[in-house]
A and B are shown apart, each in its own frame.
Chain A
Amino acid sequence: MRLCVFALKLRSVFHPLNTSTHYDVAIIGAGMSGLAAGIRLAHFGKKVCIFERHNAVGGLNGFYSLGGRKYDVGLHAMTNFVRPGVKGTPLTKLLRQLRIDRDEFALCEQKQSRVAFGPNGETSLRFTNDFAVFESEVARQFPAQIDGFRALVQVIRTHDEVALDTGYQSAREIVRRHLSDPLLEDMIFCPVMYYGSANEHDMDFSQFVIMFKALFFEGFARPFDGVRVILRVLVDKYRQAGGERRMKCGVARIVAQNGRAATLVLDDGTEVTADHVISSAGAAETQRLIESPITHPQSQITTGHPVGRLSYAETITVLDRQPAALGWGDDTIIFFNDSERFTYARSETQVDTRSGVICFPNNFDYGPDRQLAEGWFRCTCLASHALWADLPEEQYRADKAARYAEIQRSARRFLPPVDDATLTAATVATDMFTPRTITKFTGHLGGAIYGSPQKIRDGRTALSNLYLCGTDQGFLGITGAMLSGISMANLHVLAAK
């Protein structure tokens, strides 16, 4: 009893403002989508609280500190970059909707990126934030395909990819109507899939269009200090608008009554209620939270919503010099594949190093007198969640070291050669994340990097006042994630009748 009283006192010390238990809107998860939804709702006077299980914001696109360095988790680059004055694109929409001045993100553009295919990257397509560069590269490397490519580009340009009610169309099928060379087809799908597809082998055409526009029509940019700049802006806006946030306080259960989310039970056992609940936890993950008082909780564990099958591993190598000084050039991002066809599917081994993504965060244009203090070399590959998930700690660490070497060896085939001794001498720190890390940061079942293959565009769930935002709603990339939160807050709360 005395302990209880003490705990209550502690809570009132640490949460002096969080005494209320009823909100207009409760949001599950302080990632990009949850924060964006929160900003919209708080700005228009809703009493809103975001519940986040971790002590840091960001979810998949967060950051962490290790050995005095800050590491970004998910973000290689912010996609959808357009220069000032370009209107009607996702970036402009989100800046307006969140009342963010574009200078606050302080985005710096990529230098150049490429898609490199073949055992040592023999076929290469360069692209920048100017689409004409990509088009001329296709014309040069695939002269017989360029008319088809231009026709495809026209279809992409006129497609309404954000309609909330379109059904599944195979992107591979539509692309093949215009391109007959499987190499070019795969070289286009590789970056688009790596940066946002929750589907193996193929993807929904609308999702393909979202990513194609985000990567090729628009482009890559990054704040000098990485993802934490974007998160700081979002958190500041949310706080200024009057939004509440409870960190290290996840939602453990959603109690359903009469087809509504009646009560949220938090990790610490506290109960709160809300008129609306917006969950960024994922479709299957949200469904698992729902507990109906008339059924046994166990029966709710089986869920009809498919869990994503795709997960990634990433190696991070910190260097004592800029990658260019090592002889690796100016490329920002390199998408690679060594095999005849590009396979985007669940890995059958711990990591699938046939294809992957290299990112050099140093190679954004930070201005003439500014460069990151250290060099960064990041490599991402497909990985199997099942083969990492249950390893004992010691084995997990040993396997990480082995797969780190394997991934790095594979990626280096697509870079100008640097001998092992030089790279080892230049390396000052390393880290690696696995599918297990993704589950830890995002709560996604199966370490599913982009959530479920089945997206729910209108965000509706089995409960009338519970909606999804984020990955499983289906707007992709970090710009997409923020637009997802905005769209769901608009549709279900602000514009609701």
Chain B
Amino acid sequence: MTKEECKQVVLDIIADIAPDEDLTNIKPDVRLRDQMELDSMDFLDIVMELRKQHGIEVPEADYPQLASLDSCAEYLTPKFIALGK
């Protein structure tokens, strides 16, 4: 999996969780929270969907790594690769 593909995975999850958000102009280097209305319940769901859909575990201490699309890709891509994806 490439970092770009990984960003798409995260975007797909957000589209699923928050279908009322417009995701067309999300800037990868800006915090997701600053570009759309995502609260702690939504972040919990991103983590839960990563586990449910892709078998990836994100411990609570690592939640800050999910702040932006870029940081998501940095943090998650190796985890996908480690799972052979």
Contact = CB atoms under 8 A, between A and B. Distances in A.
B17 interface: yes
B45 to A, nearest CB: 7
B52 A44 contact: yes
Interface string B1-44: 00000000000000011111000000000000000010101101
A494 interface: yes
A92 interface: yes
A490 B17 contact: no
Interface residues of B, number: 14
A96 B18 contact: yes
A41 to B, nearest CB: 11
B56 interface: no
Interface in A95-144: 95-97, 99, 101-102
A80 to B, nearest CB: 15
Of B20, B42, B44, the most chain A CB neighbours within 10 A belong to: B20
A205 to B, nearest CB: 22
Q: How large is the interface on A (under 10, 10 to 19, 20 to 34, 35 or more residues)?
A: 10 to 19
A101 B41 CA distance: 17
Contacts of B44: 490, 494-495
Given A93-B39, A97-B41, A490-B41, A85 B20 contact: yes
Contacts of A101: 19
B48 A87 contact: no
A87 B37 contact: yes
B52 A96 contact: no
A134 B17 CA distance: 34
A326 to B, nearest CB: 40
A45 B39 CA distance: 22
Nearest to A497: B60
Contacts of A88: 37, 39
A347 to B, nearest CB: 39
A99 to B, nearest CB: 7
Interface centre among A44, A85, A101, A102 (most CB of B within 10 A): A44
A398 to B, nearest CB: 51
A368 interface: no
A93 to B, nearest CB: 6
Nearest to A88: B37
A171 B60 CA distance: 37
A88 B37 CA distance: 7
A44 B52 CA distance: 7
Nearest to A45: B52
Interface string A157-191: 00000000000000000000000000000000000
A400 to B, nearest CB: 44
Contacts of B20: 84-85, 87, 92, 95-96, 102
A90 to B, nearest CB: 11
A495 B45 CA distance: 10
Interface of B: 16-20, 37, 39, 41-42, 44-45, 48, 52, 60
Interface of A: 44-45, 84-85, 87-88, 92-93, 95-97, 99, 101-102, 486, 490, 494-495, 497
Given A45-B52, A88-B39, A93-B39, 4 more contacts: A44-B52, A87-B37, A96-B17, A99-B16
